[in-house]
C-alpha cells in the first residue's frame, strides 16, 4: 500500500544537478517510484544539453535538501526522500552534448504505471542538464513511496 505521493521543485539551476535519494532510516525503508520529471529552460540565450536521468557511479553528498510537498496528505510531511541540488561533494555526472538547440526548452516526462524509475534504500537517481552563457533550469520530480 502506498504511503504517499510527493514532489520537489527547484529553479535557477545552471547546470541542473537534481539528485533524488532516500533518507537513511533502516527501521522503515521505503522504495521511491519516480513517475514524473519536468525540466524547462528559463532563458533563450546561452547553451544547454537535453536533460538526462542516470544512476551516478558516485552519489552526491547533499549540503542541504529541497522542501518536499505531499500531494495526497495534509499535515506533516512524512516523506523519506532526500531531494537535493546543493552538494558538499557532487555526484558523478553523465556525459552530455551542449548546444544552442531551440531555447527555451521544455520537457515533461510521465512514466506509465509499471515503468517508473525505482530508487531503493542507499540508491539515487540523478536528473542532469548542462547550462552555460546565462541559461538556467527549472525542474521537478514527483514520486510515490511504497
Tell me which H or E stretch contains 52: strand 52-54
Q: Describe the chain by its helix, strand, coil percentages, rounded to 5.
A: 0, 50, 50
pTM, to two decimals? 0.89
Report yes or no: 9 and 66 within 8 Å, Cβ to Cβ: yes
Report yes or no: 104 and 43 within 8 Å, Cβ to Cβ: yes
Residue % of the chain over a pLDDT of 90: 58
pLDDT tens track for 29-74: 778 999 999 999 877 778 888 899 999 999 999 999 999 988 887 6
Amino acid at each position: 500500500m502506498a504511503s504517499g505521493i510527493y514532489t520537489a521543485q527547484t529553479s535557477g539551476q545552471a547546470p541542473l544537478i537534481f539528485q533524488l535519494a532516500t533518507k537513511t532510516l533502516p527501521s522503515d525503508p521505503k522504495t521511491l517510484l519516480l513517475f514524473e520529471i519536468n525540466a524547462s529552460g528559463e532563458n533563450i540565450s546561452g547553451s544547454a544539453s537535453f536533460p538526462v536521468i542516470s544512476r551516478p557511479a558516485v552519489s552526491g553528498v547533499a549540503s542541504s535538501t529541497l522542501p518536499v510537498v505531499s500531494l495526497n496528505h495534509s499535515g506533516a510531511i512524512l516523506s523519506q526522500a532526500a531531494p537535493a541540488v546543493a552538494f558538499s561533494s557532487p555526484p558523478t555526472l553523465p556525459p552530455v552534448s551542449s548546444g544552442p538547440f531551440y531555447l527555451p526548452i521544455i520537457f515533461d516526462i510521465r512514466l506509465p504505471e509499471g515503468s517508473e524509475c525505482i530508487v531503493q534504500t542507499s540508491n539515487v537517481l540523478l536528473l542532469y542538464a548542462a547550462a552555460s552563457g546565462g541559461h538556467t533550469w527549472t525542474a521537478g520530480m514527483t514520486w510515490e513511496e511504497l
